[in-house]
Amino acid sequence: MLTKEESRENLVANLRRILGDRGMSVAELARRSGVAKSSVYNVLDGYYDPSAYNLKCIADALDADMDKLLEPPPVALSKNSA
């Protein structure tokens, strides 16, 4: 079972990765999810744990599984490690 801190770190890492992969801005995520832009920034900065409702709204806006957002992010292999 993950601690609250681990879940927060995973959420931040996963959100940053997904936003980067999709070229989506925080403003766009806020617009699509209906979550205030300042709240999204606070989540990304690790200052705020979103409510279950806001987390669902964010996950839906990203077409992502809410539980997957809290899991450890996939480990990227560097080109030199192969």
- Residue pair 64/18 in contact by the 8 Å Cβ criterion: yes
Predicted TM-score (pTM) of the model is: 0.86
Which amino acid is located at 74 in the chain?
P
What value does the mean pLDDT take over residues 43-70? 95
Q: What is the pLDDT of residue 76?
A: 66
Query: pLDDT per residue over 2-30, tens digit each?
Result: 899 999 999 999 999 999 999 999 999 99
What's the CATH superfamily of 7-69? lambda repressor-like DNA-binding domains (1.10.260.40)
Query: pLDDT per residue over 57-73, tens digit each?
Result: 999 999 999 999 999 98
